[in-house]
Amino acid sequence: MPINASIEEITERKAKEFENTFDDGESVLDALDLSNAKRDLQEQKRVNVDFPAWMICETSDLIWRLQNIVST
């Protein structure tokens, strides 16, 4: 890179190299800083849900039927 190249030119050149690497099917993981990476909305939250008794019975019956189908 030329010494007098602007930050924008350097950034654009690096972005193009990154894009070409990706487009060629090569791994770009080495070019990424994943030390602070996180996935949004992945934290766990505890919730309490009340279901009617008939729904629990139906679910239990369905599970029992599915287990019998798989085991036969």
- Residue 19 in any domain: the answer is yes
Q: What is the mean pLDDT of residues 33-40?
A: 87
Is it the case that residue 70 has pLDDT exceeding 70? yes
Report the pLDDT value the prediction gives residue 69, as an integer from 0 to 100.
85
- Where b means 16+ CB within 10 Å and e means fewer, 43-52 reads eeeeeeeeee
Residues 59, 55: Cα–Cα separation, whole Å:
6
- Residue 27 in any domain: the answer is yes
Closest alpha carbon to 27 in 36, 35, 14, 18? 18
- Residue 31 in any domain: the answer is yes
Give me the domain span that covers residue 65.
7-36+48-71
pLDDT band for position 39 (50/70/90)? confident
Domains in the chain: how many in total?
1
Residues 68, 72: Cα–Cα separation, whole Å:
6
Is it the case that residue 29 has pLDDT exceeding 80? yes
